[in-house]
Amino acid sequence: MLPNARVTATTDALGAALEELKLRSVPLPADDVTHPWTRPFPEEAMSLHVVLDGVCLIQTDVPLWSYRLHDGEVLAVSGARGALRALSEGRPPEVVSARIHLEAPVGHPMLATFPRLIRAGPGRLSSSFEPCIHALREEVGLRNPGRDWLIARLCESLFVHALRSHIGDLSSTERGWFRMLADPLLGAQLALTADPSTTVTGLASALGRSPQRIRARFKKLGGIPPSAFLRRGRVRRAAGLLVAGETDLVRVAHESGFHSRQALCRAFRREMGDSPAAYWRALHGRPFPRPRRKTAPDPRDPLTMTEPGSFD
């Protein structure tokens, strides 16, 4: 069965984003102890590093970053080169590291402003952070059934805690998806944008503001008009259906919030630079199937609409 692009109503925009991006962690095997001890960041991949015992020095190519990572702290890395290194020649620190996979056919606005480094620790996060660290320590020291699965899930939980820390540390001058999420007004209803039926007018109504004020706030905090934000989200959902093998463009349009296949094709070409059929061919390496002839018009594809795919 192909995935349905319609999403369940939620008020959790971060959770909806991580569901769309299919957050998954893969713990890295423990290295043989080297002298001096070092833990390089995986190249071309996000990673998470959790210090269970000891202290590490964070050495990276990011300017102004030269910190120590202490027992019970985590470091999320995205696109930064470097490593964790021991501070002394004594007993090496105990560190759990994992690759972080965020998958999506055409990305997500969260990824566009993802920080290269996030450092988070106890005292700055919710009360569930330290229990996750404690549970991870327990699992690492055991050889019980399901150990590896639990370690991976705990790493994913700590990654979410790191994202929460980043959201709490944003300055008022920053722009992008995280900044919108941190905003008291937009953040309260940002999850609505994951619903393909959402329009700018509907979003403004839910927020109790005029469409003009919502457009201005989106542009100020996110750097993008809300209509473009909604259109890109619908194109991402359409691309997800094409990745899954769907070839009925009327169904793709319907499930991703476009009023017709023509509206889908226009938006898809605008955002992706190619048609849905060409995108499908490139993915699957074979000709796009010709649509079967229908004896009656498909009610999901109203060709008589004068303004298909409107966001207002």
List, for residues 49-95, the tens digit of each pLDDT value: 999 999 999 999 988 787 899 999 999 999 999 999 998 777 889 99
**Which value, in Å, is the radius of gyration of the alpha carbons in the chain?**
23
**Class of residue 133 by CB neighbours under 10 A (exposed 0-12, middle 13-18, buried 19+):** buried
**Residue 44, domain member (yes or no):** yes
**Residue 94, domain member (yes or no):** yes
DSSP secondary-structure letter at 16? Answer: H
**Residue 145, domain member (yes or no):** yes
**Residue 96, domain member (yes or no):** yes
Q: How far apart are CA 240 and CA 245, in angstroms?
A: 9
**Residue 204, domain member (yes or no):** no
**Residue 253, domain member (yes or no):** no
pLDDT tens digits for the chain (312 residues)? 344 444 444 578 999 999 989 999 999 987 656 678 899 999 888 999 999 999 999 999 988 787 899 999 999 999 999 999 998 777 889 999 999 999 877 789 999 999 999 999 887 667 899 999 999 999 998 888 999 999 999 999 999 999 999 999 999 899 999 999 999 999 988 988 888 999 999 999 999 999 999 999 999 999 999 999 999 999 999 999 999 999 999 999 999 999 999 999 999 999 999 999 999 999 999 998 876 655 555 555 554 343 445 555
Q: Smallest Cα–Cα separation from 23: which of 128, 113, 136, 158?
A: 158
**Residue 142, domain member (yes or no):** yes
Q: How far apart are CA 66 and CA 183, in angstroms?
A: 30
Distances (CA, A) of 74 to 94, 140, 179, 264: 12, 16, 22, 42
Distances (CA, A) of 180 to 58, 110, 221: 30, 10, 6
User: The CATH number of the domain where 32 resides is what?
Assistant: 2.60.120
Structural domain tally of the chain? 1
The pLDDT assigned to 304 comes to: 39
Q: How many CA atoms lie within 13 A of 250 on its CB side?
A: 12
3-class secondary structure, 96: strand
3-class secondary structure, 4: coil
**Residue 42, domain member (yes or no):** yes
Q: How far apart are CA 296 and CA 192, in angstroms?
A: 34
For residue 72, give its domain range. Answer: 13-169
DSSP secondary-structure letter at 54? Answer: S
Distances (CA, A) of 18 to 108, 111, 156, 207, 279: 10, 11, 10, 23, 24
Q: What percent of the chain has pLDDT over 90?
A: 68
The pLDDT assigned to 299 comes to: 58
CB 175 within 8 A of CB 112: no
- The strand ranges marked E within the chain are 24-27, 38-40, 46-53, 56-60, 68-69, 74-77, 82-86, 94-101, 117-120
DSSP assignment of 154-218 equals HHHHHHHHHHHHHHHH--TT--SHHHHHHSTTHHHHGGGGGSTT--HHHHHHHHTS-HHHHHHHH
Predicted TM-score (pTM) of the model is 0.85
